[in-house]
Structure formats: structure tokens, C-alpha cells
Structure 1
Amino acid sequence: MEPLEKLYKELTRQTKQIERDLDMPYLEALTTVIDRLNDRHTENVDKEVIRKAVSLAILEGMKQAQPNHLPTPDSVALFAGYLIGKLVGKEDIRLLELGSGTGGMLHAVLSQLSTGTSAEAVEVDETLIRLSAAVTELLDYPVTYTHQDALRPLLLDPVDLAMADLPVGYYPDEEAAASYILKRDEGMSYSHFLLIEQAMQYVKPGGFGVFVIPNGLFQHDTEGKLKQYFESKAHVIGILQLPLTMFKQEQAAKSYLIVRNHLAGMKMPKQALLAELPSFTDARAFGGMVKQIDEWINTELK
């Protein structure tokens, strides 16, 4: 049995036993298992194998979750890590993820950056943040967690890059939304708009944001505020559409949005990076696309 399959089966076996014996929700049981995991199961196991096994075990427990609450697919998270590494380099940097959930995207990104990279993660759900923190400790990543509503004011130092897999919906706290540029004039504001603005507030001038967005993001901008924000604050420098084959329904399709904070005297790309990504399983086509992205970053951002 391969190490990945062996560890995954052991994680789910122990989790389901605790879930049954203690009448405990699956994700809480999994957190307990990860906290107790000993060297017998992880000794001489590659850190990436551990990360993937844990991701699969988490997915097992979230099969019935709403699509908006599902973990970011591993292939999407890993490609986000590639993009981030190219944008900011692999030297020591600080990242921020808002709405970090179970930490799948954050852990996948950190797996591709230098060991000196550190991260801030903000999550309101106590069960999810406890699980993510347990995985972080297991993988020995330097992540600091903040347990709160990500759209409330945060006590954070500026970071080099912010990221989020944006949950689509309305933000019910109209009082908190009132301080945002991207609030709607009438009714509840879009949480996915506010999260972009909030994340980029904590990014250094000239720093980046990488967001997984619904393809219809700009169609939601009926008041034109998102357009104004991107003209004056954080500029859109790239949109990469994920393969439609990844999604059961076309309206659920997503893209990567790449933005950069304004910095006086900063050279802006002559042309934004706009592309439809080929299937991740088509090695030849995908390799060609990666080469084009590398060339664009080296030409337009260096």
C-alpha cells in the first residue's frame, strides 16, 4: 500500500471510530486524531504526502457540505501556490488568508514556498480553525491564527500578499459593511466584494492579491463600485479562468483574479494577463500555458 493511501485510511479509520464512540462530529474527531497522530504513522513520510492525506480525510468529512463551504480543490490550491511563488518570489515573505477554513489552500501554497515564509490566517468558524491549526502544527508551518469575522477590523502588520477562495453571498452585518468602499448603496453588500477590499487593506503598497473568484464577479458589479475600486486602489493585472470541465455546472465556474496595490511610480503591465487555463491533466497544453505565464511575469512585472 502506498504511503498516501495508508495514511489516509488510518486517519479516516481513527476518525470514524471516535465519531462513533464519542458521538462527535467528523471534523472535530479528525482534529482529535491529528492532535494525537504519532511518529509511528508519520515517521519517514514526506510532508507533502501528509498534507495530501489530511486533505483527502477532510474532504471525506465534507462531502455533504454546501458547494460554497467545500475545501478548495487541491489542484486549484497548488496552482495558486505556483502563481504566488512567481509573483513574490520564494524568498521569505508574509501571506494573509481571509476565511481560511480548514487551511487546505494555505497549506498547499506554503508547501511550495521557502521555509522562511510565514502566514496569517483569519477564520470565524471555531471547528474549522481548530482543525486547520492542528494540521499546521503537524506540518510545522509558521502560521498565526485569528479567530474572528474576517470583515471586522484586524490587528495585523502589512503582508506581501493576500489570498482567499471567495465565498459568494451577502454579508449580513450592514453596520460593519458601512465602512467599506465596496458596500452596496441599498441592501446587504456582497461578502466576496468586501473580502477583496479587506484583504488588500493589509497588503503593502505594490503587494499582490490572488483570489479564487466566481466567473460572474464583474457581472455582480451593478453599481460600478468594483470597477472604480480597481481603477483607484488595487489594480487588476490578471484573470486566469479555470477549466470549465472542473465544474458540474457552468455557473459554478471560477477564475484566479490577480491584483496589485497601487504604489507611486510603479510600472503597470502594458497588458493584463488574461487566459483560459487548459485542463490540469493535459500536460502538454498546461506546460505551454505555464511557460506563457512565466514569460509574462518576467516581462511585465520584473
Structure 2
Amino acid sequence: MSHLTEMEKVFSAIDQTAIILRKELNCLYLEAIAETGENMFHGEILQDELDEVTKKRLEREYESINLEKIDGETIRKAYQLAILKGMKEAVQPNHQMTPDAVSLFVSYLIGKFMEGKSNYNLLDPAVGAGNLLTTILNHHHQLIDAAYGIDVDDLLIKLTYVNANLQKHGVQLFNQDSLQPLFIDPVDLVVCDLPVGYYPNDEGAKAYQVRAEEGHSYAHHLFIEQSLNHMKDGAYGIFLVPNNLFETEQAKSLHAFLKEVAVIQGLIQLPLSMFKQESMAKSIFIIQKKGEGVVTPKQALLVQLPKFSNREAMNDMMTQMNEWFRNC
């Protein structure tokens, strides 16, 4: 059986059972995905209110796949497809998923920047449905001692919880506002697809150096500062940021703060073709918290990526980047 066929089979089981549960429980498709994922993980149907006929229909679908024999990446991709379907149904601004190609590229960057470290801890302070985090775990799980995920949205946290369980990853999850005090020890690596926009809690923003002098502060600025607060000296932060990060009226305070506490390692602009509007385009921003032994690179890694589908151009770019890592 080909890899693709196996993934489609897992997706079909998730999708068909979620459709049944959505109708029977009168809930959103996204909520039904979480419910069916729980059933799959526990190996039993947990919804007591279902009648026997419905339970039999669900069991027949679950028996069509054996998750024990399927690798984590196949499960992740199948679960991701189901979540994407659900997000199209009930679009909310905070219900956006990091594209696969970007998650895999971030995973490559982690391999490069964390090279030589025997073990490390990882935090995603806006974990969403967990696609970015579980992609990283699937590629680097042997080196990651502990992984933490935080999100204010309880449905997204539940989806991450089920996502991680099905892929057999131990992740500590917190359902809270990440810009409020966090009870997490400092980590070696923070990775985050930053929520872009204004933070509505002006009182909460007062705790941050990068807050706006007047009006609402940018949440993505606050997230960067909060991440640095929870990073060990010498730790790395890899963030998806808006392309205009340093061009807005609030950029001055962010730049001053970063100059004080961090070293900028790189800024990698993602292909504009990935975004519906140029104003929504993002880059990968890599920083390192200052500390003993941390050296500012002679030249930051500044890259404009071609389309991920353009293999020749991507291979050339990767060669150039690998050269930067050898010389930095």
C-alpha cells in the first residue's frame, strides 16, 4: 500500500466518523474531529448518549485502520486534512493552520540551529491545532525532552491534545492567554506562528516593554517579548512574523528591546505566492537570547525563498543556506 493511499484511508476514517458524530451530537465538524480522535486514541466509543446502531457504524469505520501500524507523519497529515476541512466550515481569524511546507522548513532550520545539542525543551505559545508542533516532534522527537503548547482557544487545545496523542507525543498543554503569567520553566527553543493583530487587554500589555505608548499593542510584539522571558540564555526563537514587522509605528520599541536582549540570526521571507494578499505575507524570524558564549553572526541569514514547488531554485537556496551555517 502506498504512503498516500494509507494517509487517505486514515483521513476517510476520521472524516466519516466525524460526519456521523457531528450529526448525532449536533456539534461543529471541528468538535466532532476532536471527539472521534479521542475514540481512536482510547480504542473505545466515549460518547454515552449514542445509540447502539450509531456505535456499530463508528466501530466499523475505526476497524478499517490500525493506528498502531501507521507512522506519525501519516496520521498528522490525515488529521490535518480533516482540520482544514473543518476550518473552511467555521472560519475564525485564530483558526488558521501553518502550511505543511512551512512547518517542514522550520523543522529543517531547527535541525541546523540546534545541531550539537543532545537534548532540549520546546515551547509553542500559540500552538493552535498543533500542526507546526507535531511536525517538529515527528522529525526531532529523539532530541526533545519536553514540549509545551499554549493556546487561549479551548477547541484548538483539544485538537492539539488529540493530535499529539494519536501521534504518540507527550506534550504538556495549557489552555490560557499566553500573554498572562506562564508557569513554565525556561526552554531551549521557542517556535511559534505568531498571532498577528492587536492585543485587546491594554492593562495586561502594561507588563511588557514593547507595549504601545497609546492604544492597543501588537500581540505579535508581546508574544516575542513573552517568549524571550521564557527562554534560557542562548536559547533560540523561531517565529513566523508579518513581513512589515519592523515597518510599523510600534516597531521602534520592539527593535530597541531586541537589541538589548537578543541577537538576530536570520530573516527568511516566505514566497508571496503562498498568501492570498501581499499584506498577509510572512517571514521566518530567527533570534537568539543573549548569554555567555552567544556571538553575533558576521552577516545575518537574509533570504527570500522561491516557491517551494520550484525544486531547482529551492535546491540552490538550500545550498547557499547550508554554506551560511558552515561559516557562521
Q: Do these two structures clear the TM 0.5 threshold for a shared fold by scoring above it?
A: yes
Q: Write the distance in 2 (CA, Å) between the matches of 1:251 and 1:298.
A: 34
Q: Distance in 2 between matches of 1:184 and 1:236?
A: 22
Moved more, 1-10 or 100-109: 1-10
Distance apart, 1:223 and its partner CA: 5.7
Please point out which of 100, 103, 122 is paired with 2:130: 103
Partner of 1:54: 79
Q: Which amino acid aligns with 1:86?
A: K
Q: Secondary structure at the match of 1:101?
A: coil
- Among 176, 181, 186, the residue aligned to 2:214: 186
> How far does the alpha carbon of each residue in 1:124-160 deviate from its partner, in whole angstroms, 9 at most, with x for none?
1111111111111111112111111000011111111
Shift of the alpha carbon at 1:77?
A: 1.1
Give the drift of 1:47. Answer: 1.7
Q: Gapped runs of 5+ residues in structure 1? A: none
Which residue matches 2:299?
A: 271
Shift of 1:181: 0.7
Match of 2:24 in 1: 21
Match of 1:87 among 95, 105, 113: 113
Change in CA separation of 1:222 and 1:189 when aligned onto 2, cut-off 3 Å: closer
Compute the displacement of 1:272 (Å): 0.5
Residue matched to 2:241:
213
Counterpart contact for 2:179–2:226, Cα < 8 Å:
yes
Cα RMSD (Å): 1.6
1:4 equivalent in alignment to 2:7 = yes
Q: 2 CA distance for matches of 1:113 and 1:91?
A: 11
Q: Judging changes above 3 Å, is the alpha-carbon distance between structure 1 residues 223 and 251 closer, same or farther for their aligned structure 2 residues?
A: closer
Q: What SS does the aligned partner of 2:181 have?
A: coil
Partner of 2:59: none
Structure 1 residue 68 displacement after superposition: 4.8
What code does the residue aligned with 2:111 have?
G
Contact 2:268 2:285 in 1 (8 A): yes
Describe the SS at the equivalent of 1:183: coil
After the TM superposition, which residues 196-235 of structure 1 pair with which residues of structure 2 at under 5 Å, given as runs? 196-222=224-250, 224-235=252-263
Structure 2: gaps (5+ residues): 44-61
1:45 aligns with 2:73: no
Answer with 1 or 2: which has the greater Rg: 2
Equivalent residue in structure 2 for 1:136, among 153, 164, 168: 164
| Sequence identity percentage | 40
How far did 1:265 drift? 4.4
Separation in 1, partners of 2:112, 2:139: 11
Does residue 70 in structure 1 map to residue 73 in structure 2? no
- Counterpart of 1:236 (choices 250, 254, 264) is 264
TM-superposed CA distance for 1:268, in Å, is 1.1
Q: TM-score, normalised by structure 1?
A: 0.95
Instruction: State the SS of the aligned residue for 1:107.
Output: helix
Name the count of aligned residue pairs.
300
- Over 3 Å off, 4+ runs: none
Indicate if the aligned counterparts of 1:48 and 1:111 stay in contact, CA closer than 8 A: yes
- The answer to whether the 8 Å contact 2:197/2:220 transfers is yes
